[in-house]
Amino acid sequence: MNTQQEKNHDHSDIDRNAVESIRQSIVDLGTEWAVLGISFGTQALERSAQSLTLVAKTLSTLSEALERKARGGEKKVEEPTDVIDAPAVSENDPLDPDQA
């Protein structure tokens, strides 16, 4: 026959196991959210870098045109033709609102 103290001990083990299970679930969920957030940040930075590269090339072309004009050579400057394409959207792109 179990005494009251043994019954209380059994319940405290169950409570500890439940608390540990809940804690681990919260940690796992937090980790998943962190991975998703970092993924979004990475994609946003990559797209920004591509845009900034294109802007830098355009500014360089403008600078060269201004230098030529300042030297008296009014040679027509062609528009840059190398456009940086955005990365292809994958089937499960988390930034695509149609897939939300």
| Cα–Cα separations (whole angstroms), residue 91 to 41, 50, 66, 74, 95 | 19, 21, 44, 49, 11
Q: What is the DSSP-derived secondary structure letter of residue 96?
A: -
The whole-number pLDDT of residue 72 equals 86
Over the chain (100 residues), the average pLDDT of each successive run of 10 is 57 85 96 97 97 96 93 65 55 60
**pTM listed for this prediction:** 0.48
Residues near 82 by beta carbon (within 8 Å), at least 6 away in sequence = 57
The whole-number pLDDT of residue 1 equals 47
The whole-number pLDDT of residue 8 equals 56
The whole-number pLDDT of residue 95 equals 61
Q: What is the DSSP-derived secondary structure letter of residue 79?
A: P
Rounded Cα gap, residues 74 and 46, in angstroms: 37
